[in-house]
Amino acid sequence: MSYDILEAFNQIVRDKNIGPEYVISTIEAALLTAAKRKYGTSDNFSVEVDTDEGSIQIYQTKKVVEKVEDPITEISLAEAVEDDPETELGDEIDIPIMFEDFGRNAIAAAKQILIQRVREAEREMIFNEYKDRVAELITGSVQQVDKGNVLVNIGNAEAILPSKEQIYREKYRQGDRIRAIIVDVQRTSKGPQITLSRSRPEFLTKLFELEVPEIFERIIEIKAIAREPGERSKIAVASNDERIDPVGACVGVKGSRVQNIVRELNNERIDIVLWSSQPQVFVTKALAPAKIVNIETFPGEDRMTVVVDDEKLSLAIGKSGQNARLAAKLTGWKINILSESEYTAMKEAEEMEKVDIDTIEGISPRLQLNLSNAGFDTAQDIVGAPVEALLEVEGIGQKKAESLIEKAREAIEARKLEVGPDFIGEDYSPAGDDVSGEEFPTVSDSDDDELEQNGEVQESEEEEEGLSDEDDSEEDDEEEDDYIEDEAEEEDYDEDDEDGEDEEEDEQEDMEETEKTD
């Protein structure tokens, strides 16, 4: 009996990983509950658990009286003397209770309480273990797939991978090994619910920390990540050690490091770019492999107008706007991509629409001078400035400023009607508006709608997916050099043809003059 109790006690402690003190208190509570069910009260009952000897004993405390009125709490002197001859009236004695006296129902209730308390302790232990492991990478096995959600066995607990946290087009089968990060741990009536994710950018960060020791040791820092799970990701890295190339370290020898991550992400393409504190440089690298001709920055609006070659517009935008969308998320800037011809048309239109302040009605020469000294040279400057800036100009009050802005607007509208659409063109829109020719709106971090554009994406296939966009840039350099050489050869060929035609015309004229002379 003693050995069986010790073995059961140790097995609970070992299997459930629960402290022995908690198991002892649980056993005591369960037996007191059984006593209450049997006798109606447990106030005069006590339980002693001896883990060394493996014994459990229940005692019922009774008071020695001459006449028993309550058999639950009292005992007669004659009965008490049989157990202890020195017992006197008024003494309290502990009477051992055998387990058989409780009955089957009371023992079943005690067993149920013991199981419930142990289960609650186990759930609380699991919750305390995983609540501080949020954002940690974990490995488990697929236990079940239910209505798109994947139940994952992570050892001593069960986690769930919701469909929205899965990588697009990924399939899971029972028994498959799976990696994910813990994103949430909640208490529920059925125990702690551990939620996993494979689609968040933090998962990509943890994979790089696992594959690239320099990132784990904080020698290389991941500055930003933009990701469309299952399709493509962009990651910006910087090195805290000038001797280490951050991009090369992340790619690895022949792409070995990044390829391990690509395989884990179901062949998701990964672009690794060098981070820069200068926004223009950072955006240029983020849009690679497209060649940037010019960048116009609007810091107050966190917006940029990026100009690329006409032939490279589709490459800069990417398939369904993916390249531009990821670049905007990575840099945190709103990016409006224009071709070189569209940008030239935009600037020419802006120049044609400019209205000098001397053409605005109601502005005296002295006020014109004051406005010019304050930096307001055109009606566009007046309309684009806040009222507070105009109030700082000498001779302008609140009413005058509002009137001036209204007259400047009227002058701008009049100039637009004067210029007309013939010069601007039907497909042109000012900077920041949608460019109808490419059907590509301004891309920002908040844009969720899929962007479309007419041309095919002219991206060259990389030998190994996931390599940095610098390789793409080198390929584009070679393509452009070949294109320039071909153009030069065509121009030389055309010049030779023109020279040959000129010589034939000269010979024909000489022959005609000779015939006339004869």
Annotation: CATH topology of 201-287: GMP Synthetase; Chain A, domain 3 (3.30.300)
Q: Any idea where the domains of the chain sit in the sequence?
A: 2-127, 131-199, 201-287, 290-459
Q: 2-127 sits in which CATH class?
A: alpha beta
For the chain (518 residues), the mean pLDDT of every run of 10, in chain order, is 58 72 78 76 77 74 80 78 77 76 71 79 86 91 90 90 90 92 90 92 94 94 94 94 93 92 92 93 90 86 89 88 92 91 82 75 78 80 80 81 82 74 42 35 38 32 38 43 40 43 49 45
Instruction: Using the Cα atoms of residue 383, residue 388, residue 393 and residue 399 in order, give the sign of their dihedral.
Output: positive
Q: Decide yes or no: CATH 2.40.50.140 for domain 131-199.
A: yes
What spatial distance separates the first Cα and last Cα of the chain, rounded to whole Å? 145
437-471 core/surface letters (b: 16 or more CB in 10 A; e: else): bbebbbbbbebeeebebeeeeebeebeebbbbbbb
365 vs 52: CA distance, rounded Å: 106
What is 290-459's CATH topology? DNA polymerase; domain 1 (1.10.150)
Q: Which residue has the tokens 């305390």?
A: 128
Q: Is 314:476 a contact under the CB 8 Å cutoff?
A: no
Q: DSSP letter string over 417-481? A: HHH-HHHH-TT---TTS-BTTTTBPPB-TT--SPP--SSPP-PPPPSSTT--HHHHHHHHHHHHH
Do 339 and 345 contact (CB within 8 A), yes or no?
A: no
